Amino acid sequence: MESYQIINKENIQNIGNHNNKYSMKKYWTTTSAYINNNQNNSQDIKHNNSVNNNHGKSKSKTTPMIPVSFVEQLWRKPKSKISKKHNTFPTASSFNFEPITYLQAYQQQKQQNNNCNFSLNDLPIELISTILEHTIIKKEICQQPSDDQQFLTTLLTCKLWQTVGYSLIESVKLDRCSRMPSVRQLRQLNRLPSLRNLSIFGGSPLKIYQLNVVAGLLSSPSSAITHINLFSNQIGDLGLLKLVQALHYNSSVTFLGLSYCNLTARSGEPLANLLAKNTTLRELILSYNALGSSGAVSFAAGLAKNKSLRSLSLSHNELGDDGTKEIALSLASNQSLSELNLRCNSISSEGSNYISTSLQINKSIVEIDLWGNNIGDYGATKIGVALSLNHSLKSINLTRNCIQQGIGSIASALCSASSKITTIDLSANALGAIGAIEIAKIIRATTSIESMTLSSNKFESNGIQHIAQAISNNKSIRRLNLATNEIGVEGARYLAESIKLNSTIVYFDLAMNQLGNEGTKAITEALEYNKSIKTIVLSHNQIDIEGVQSILTLLNSNRTISVINLEGNHLAPDTQRLFQKFINQNKLTVTLSHQIGRYSSF
C-alpha cells in the first residue's frame, strides 16, 4: 500500500526544493492534499485520520484541502525575495502569477504568530480565486481506502470553492472505500456541473439507496457524465434495473463499466432494452457476471438492434455454446460493434462454428478475444475459414484453446495476401515442433502482422529453428513474444542468427526459456549487429554475473536498447551498480530481482 505525507506548512518548503524526494500525485483528495512518499509515514497517516474524524465541522481544527497541482505549480516557480516586514497580501490587481511569493509571506506570518494551522481560508478571496482558476492541472477528486470518513463535504473548506472549485471538477473516483459516502454526501455530486467521470470501485458495495442517488444524477437533464464505472459493486439485478431506467433519459454516457456486479440472467432483458433504445453508449463492460445462456438470449436481441456500441466485453459470463450462438447471430444484424471480448465462456467447437459463421458475414468487427475457451482443432479449422473470408478483422486472441493440428487452417488463412490481421495471440496451445512449422509459414508470408504472441507452446529448440529461419527476412513483425518455450541454449543460437538479419522487431520476449549464461551470450552478441530491438526480456533464465557481463559488453556498443528485463535471475544485490553508467548515459531502464518476490526497478 502506498504511504502518504500530508502537505502542511512544515513540509511545503521541502516541496519547493527541486531535489526533494517527493513525487506529486496529480489529483484531489479529501481533507488534505497528499504526495507520494516511498517511506512509511504511519505517524502522518494517523494524524490524517484524526483530522478526518472532524467531518469538516470545525474549520479551525481541520487542515483544509489544498490542490496538489497548486503546490506543484508553486515549487516550479522562481522564488522571489520577500520582505520580512511584509504583513499584508497584495490584491488581485498586483497579482503577477507568482503564488510562491504570497505563500512564503503567508508562512512567515503564521510562524510569527506561532500558528501551525495552514489554512487557505485566511488568504484574500481574489487570490484564492486566481489560484483555483489558473493552477488546477488534473481537476480530479480521488478518495483512497484509508480516507473513509469524509468526501465531498470537505470541499466546503475554501471560501470560493462553491463558486470556483465546483465548476472545475471533472472526475470523481471512490476506490475500494471501506465506508461509502452517505446519501447526503453523494448528493453533492449534483453540484458539479463539469463532472464527466464517475468511478466507484468495490470496497463497501453501493447500497440501493446510494445507487438511487447515482441513478438520479444520470437521469438529470443537466448531466454531463460520459464515463461511469461501478466495478465490483455487487449491485445485482435490481440495482442494474435502477441504473438502466436512469440511462433511458441520459444522452451523455458513452462508457458503462459493470464488471463484478453480481448480474444474472434476469439482467439480460433490461440490458437489451437499454441497447435497443440508447444511441450514445460506445463501450459496455459486463465481465465477471453470470448472464448465462438464457441471459444471452435476451441480451442478444437488444444487441442486434443497437447502432452505437463499439466495444463489448462479456468475458467470464458462463455463456456456453447456446449463449454464444445468440451473440453470434446478433452480429449478423449489428454493424457498429468493432471489439468483442468472449473470454472464458466455455465455448467449444460448436460455439466456435457459430462465431465463424457470423465473422463471415459481419464486416465491422476488427478485434475478437476468445482467450480461455476450448474450441479445439475442429473449432480452429472453422475460425481459419472465417479468417480466409473476413478481410476486416485485425486482431484475434486464441490463447488456451487446445489448438494443435488445427493451426494449419489458421496458417493458411493468415498466409493469404488479403489477410488484414495485425495482432495474433496463440499462446498456451502446446503447438510443439510441428505447430512451429506452420507458424514459420505465417511469419514468412505475412506482410500485415505486427504483433505475434507465441508463449507457452513447447516449441523447444527443434521448433524454434523453423521460426528463427522465418524471422530473418520478415519485414512486418515489431513485437514478438516467445516466452516459456523451453528453447535452451541451442534454440538461443538459432534465434541469434536470425536477429542479426532482422531489422523490424522492436520488442523481443525470451522470458523463462532456460537460456543460461551461454544462451544469453549468444543473444547479446547477435544484438551487437541489430539496430531495431529496443526492449529485450530475459527474465527467469538462470542468468548470473557471467551473463550480466555479456549484457554489459553489449551496452557498450549498442545504444538502441532502452529496456532490459532481468527479473527472476541469480543476481547479486549490487548488480544495479554495474548498470548505473548506462542508466545515466543511455536513459536505460533495467528491471532486476534480488530475491524471489522482491524487485528493484530503476
Grouping H, G, I as helix, E, B as strand and the rest as coil, residue 145 is coil
Beta-carbon contacts of 96 under 8 Å, excluding residues fewer than 6 positions away, are none
Contact 392, 422 (CB under 8 A): no
Q: Where are the alpha helices (DSSP H) in 23-150?
A: 42-52, 68-76, 99-112, 125-135
Tell me, what's the pLDDT at 60?
A: 35
Tell me, what's the pLDDT at 279?
A: 95
**pLDDT tens string 459-489:** 999 999 999 999 999 999 999 999 999 999 9
DSSP secondary-structure letter at 137? S
**pLDDT tens string 212-270:** 999 999 999 999 999 999 999 999 999 999 999 999 989 999 999 999 999 999 999 99
Beta-carbon contacts of 301 under 8 Å, excluding residues fewer than 6 positions away, are 272, 276, 330
Tell me, what's the pLDDT at 153?
A: 40
Residue with cell 467447437: 349
64: left (phi over 0), alpha (psi -120 to 50) or beta: beta
CA-based end-to-end distance of the chain: 19
Contact 140, 169 (CB under 8 A): yes
Helix (H) or strand (E) holding 395: strand 395-397
Residue 561 CA: distances (Å) to CA of 281, 508, 527, 537, 585 = 42, 11, 9, 11, 12
pTM of the model: 0.77
Tell me, what's the pLDDT at 27?
A: 28
Grouping H, G, I as helix, E, B as strand and the rest as coil, residue 345 is coil
Tell me, what's the pLDDT at 110?
A: 53
Tell me, what's the pLDDT at 412?
A: 98
Low-confidence residues of the chain: pLDDT under 50: 1-103, 115-118, 120, 125, 132-140, 143-161, 594-602
Tell me, what's the pLDDT at 72?
A: 37
| Cα angle value 327/332/334 (rounded, 5°) | 80
138 residue type, one letter: K
Tell me, what's the pLDDT at 204?
A: 80
Q: What is the 3-state secondary structure (H, E, C) of 411-434?
A: HHHHCCCCCCCCEEECCCCCCHHH
DSSP secondary-structure letter at 28? B
572 residue type, one letter: A
Residue 407 CA: distances (Å) to CA of 219, 337, 374, 440, 485 = 50, 27, 14, 12, 17
| Domains of the chain, each with CATH number or no CATH | 3-143 (no CATH), 430-602 (3.80.10.10)
**pLDDT tens string 255-296:** 999 999 999 999 999 999 999 999 999 999 999 999 999 999
